[in-house]
A = this chain, B = another copy of it.
Amino acid sequence: MVKLTVLYGHPIDPTAFEKHYADTHMPLVAKMSGPTRTEKARVVGTPDGSKPAFYRMFEFWFDNQEALQNTMGSLEGRAAVADLAKFATGGVTVLISAVE
């Protein structure tokens, strides 16, 4: 199993981010077929009380690397990636991981 993790940096305008994320980005993500599971999460803190390094995270799990590549290479996957530039003003850090 592999997963794609999207770590969102802190946006310039969180209110604008949240609106675009809920109204536009999530519907685009929902159109992506292939993941066996997805998880949306809002970073709320750190164990030591310092400012979190990221603002939000979203993960997609796939059966294997090929399924991940098929999804990300699809029209729907590319539309979701292209949309990031419209609201992710804090940048994104993306990881592909092998689940052990």
Contact = CB atoms under 8 A, between A and B. Distances in A.
A41 interface: yes
B41 A99 contact: yes
A95 B56 CA distance: 10
A44 B97 contact: yes
Number of copies of this kind of chain in the complex: 2
A100 interface: yes
Interface in A58-98: 72, 81, 93-98
B52 A95 contact: yes
Contacts of A40: 99-100
A17 interface: no
| Interchain residue pairs A-B with the least CB separation, the first 8 | A41-B97, A45-B96, A40-B100, A53-B93, A41-B99, A43-B97, A43-B95, A42-B98
8 contacts: A40-B99, A41-B98, A41-B99, A42-B98, A42-B100, A43-B95, A46-B94, A57-B95
